[in-house]
Amino acid sequence: MLAPAQARALHLAAQGLAARPRARARKADLLAAIARMQLLQIDTIHVVARSPYLVLFSRVGAYPADWLDELLAQRAIFETWAHEACFAPVGDYTLLRSAIAHREHHWAIRNARHRHAEHGAEIAQLLAHVRERGAVKAADFEREAGSGSGGGWWQWKNEKLWLEASFALGELMVSRRENFHRVYDLAERVIGEVQTDWNSAAVPTALARRELLLKSVRALGITQARWIADYYRLRPRLRDADLDDLVEEGALLRVEVRGWTAPGYVHPDLAPQLERAASGRLRATHATLLSPFDPVVWDRERASEFFGFDYTLECYTPEPKRRYGYFVLPILVGGRLVGRLDAKAHRREGVFEVKALYLEEGIVADEALAQSVARAIDDCARWHATPRVTLGRCRPAAFARPLKTQLAAMR
């Protein structure tokens, strides 16, 4: 039986978050981190770094942001709808396209099919334009007069909606990004550069689902049955009985975790790490800031069970109703989510502003914690090229003094 701390260590090790990176990051380390997670969720909010860059920083340390863009342009990874919009290893293209084709419940797929049904002729013309003239951005199409200014998805011009629909259904792919804006091209030209059999027979639905469920367990390290399907946004949610056959054939290992009311599941590839965790030899020691879209916290129920951490992203919540702030980053220290901070990177001024920092109830706010949290903040600030850190309100208030002392010592 695993202790909760041992289960957390196994989870974080599988996610690449157990230990501080030992060496300077290489581009290959980014690709390895994406492969370990299986998925790297994309989001455009950039009050600090955009989420996919921050998720990788938490795992590999400081690196040039251009590397992620280069991996996409070099066809080492591709964009797809999975948990949400995500980067994934290019080797998973056929598997993911096969699975996505049957996910009518996914809002992006459902909307794409609806738009194809209503605007099939216009979308066909758009695809013909791309075929004849090459890759395009949404900005290449002028907005119709009187249609308003740019903004959220509800203000997108028709061509942007049609590009997104064709992307969701696999007719177009993202060939590269320019200033984080998608550049779309025909799938046959993008994936065809690296997979000559890209349009071969699809993976059967049952096999695709099985493979994605196993990939989810591998990425999570250890998981309860009810958390597995959400990793790739599959349905329905699994029960323990649904996994009996996989356990019997050895495709999954079933283990007990003290305090859990349901069994845990581990991929057999992680049997050595499971053994180390059970013997207390696998420890989580890393201190870093996490993105709100990090796989560790994107399932609120799972984060609560693993870490006792109730996390809700509040950037979509009206400001008067926010409890912690606009873009709040969980703080990981030594296998625990010890708190959260609301941050903003002022790149022009070189300032990393911590508007507010909150420790979780029951966390001992001692010098050791202050040193670890300060190191996590300082690492992130320097990577942003905003080395001067300012600290606003702190809870508990007494934690501000040792934290400021530690931050000052790192200057």
Instruction: Say what the pTM is.
Output: 0.94
CA-CA distance, 25 to 126, in Å (whole number)?
41
What is the helix, strand, coil percentage profile of the chain, to 5?
45, 20, 35
Residues 189 and 212 in one domain: no
Backbone angles phi, psi at 353, to 5 degrees: -90, 120
Query: What confidence tens digit (pLDDT) does each residue in 17-52 have?
Result: 999 999 999 999 999 999 999 999 999 899 999 999
195 is written with which tokens?
């997979």
Secondary structure of 64-125 in the HEC alphabet? CCHHHHHHHHCCCEEEEECCCEEEEEHHHHHHHHHHHCCCCCCHHHHHHHHHHHHHHHHHHH
Same domain, 348 and 405: yes
Task: Please check whether residues 119 and 146 belong to one and the same domain.
Answer: yes
Give the total number of structural domains in the chain: 3
Domain-ending residue, one of 261, 278, 295: 278
Cα(56)–Cα(65) distance, integer angstroms? 10
285 occurs within a structural domain: no
Q: How many of the other CB atoms lie within 10 Å of CB of 94? A: 18
Give strand pairing partners of 253.
266
Give the per-residue pLDDT at 197.
76
pLDDT at residue number 201: 67
Average pLDDT over residues 373-391: 97
CB 328 within 8 A of CB 313: yes
**Residues constituting the chain:** 411
Please check whether residues 142 and 208 belong to one and the same domain.
no
Residue 46 vs residue 152, higher pLDDT: 46
Mean pLDDT to the nearest integer, 183-212: 88
d(CA 89, CA 128): 28
pLDDT score at 142 = 66
Place of tokens 């706010």: 365
What whole-number percentage of the chain has pLDDT above 70? Answer: 95
Asked if residue 55 belongs to a domain, the reply is no
99 vs 79, residue with greater confidence: 79
Domain boundary, last residue among 231, 257, 278: 278
Check whether residue 179 and residue 212 sit in a common domain.
no
* pLDDT of residue 355 exceeding 50: yes
Work out the angle at residue 29's Cα, subtended by the Cα atoms of residues 66 and 42, and round it to the nearest 5 degrees.
55
Is residue 92 in some structural domain? no
Range 101-125 average pLDDT: 84
Q: Per the domain annotation, does 401 fall within a domain?
A: yes
pLDDT (mean) for 335-363: 97
Please report the pLDDT score of residue 104 as a whole number.
Answer: 66
pLDDT of residue 309: 97
pLDDT band at 202 (very low <50, low <70, confident <90, very high): confident
pLDDT of residue 156: 57
Same domain, 161 and 225: no
- Residue 157 pLDDT more than 60? yes
Q: Is there a single domain that holds both residue 346 and residue 365?
A: yes
pLDDT in tens, 53-81: 999 999 999 999 999 999 999 999 999 99
Domain assignment of residue 295, yes or no: no
pLDDT at 100 > cutoff 50: yes
* pLDDT higher than 60, residue 150: no
| Per-residue pLDDT at 149 exceeds 50 | no
Residues 264 and 322 in one domain: no
Same domain for 182 and 215, yes or no, is no
What domain range is 400 assigned to?
312-409
The average pLDDT across 206-222 equals 96
| Rounded average pLDDT over 128-146 | 82
* 187 shares its domain with 213: no
The pLDDT tens digits for 267-318 are 999 999 999 999 999 999 999 999 999 999 999 999 999 999 999 888 888 9
Q: Which of 193, 223, 253 is the last residue of a domain?
A: 193
**CB neighbour list of residue 22: distance below 8 Å, 6 or more residues apart:** none
Judgement on whether residues 405 and 321 belong to the same structural domain of the protein: yes
**Domain-embedded: residue 265:** yes
Task: Read off the DSSP letter of residue 353.
Answer: E
Q: Which residue has 């997979």 as its token pair?
A: 195
62 within domain boundaries: no
Query: What is the dihedral angle through the alpha carbons of 372, 222, 342, 292, rounded to the nearest 10 degrees?
Result: 140
Residue 74 placed within a domain: no
Indicate if 341 and 405 belong to the same structural domain.
Answer: yes
Q: What is the CATH number of the domain that holds 325?
A: 3.40.630
Bridge-based pairing of strands 181-186 and 172-178 is antiparallel
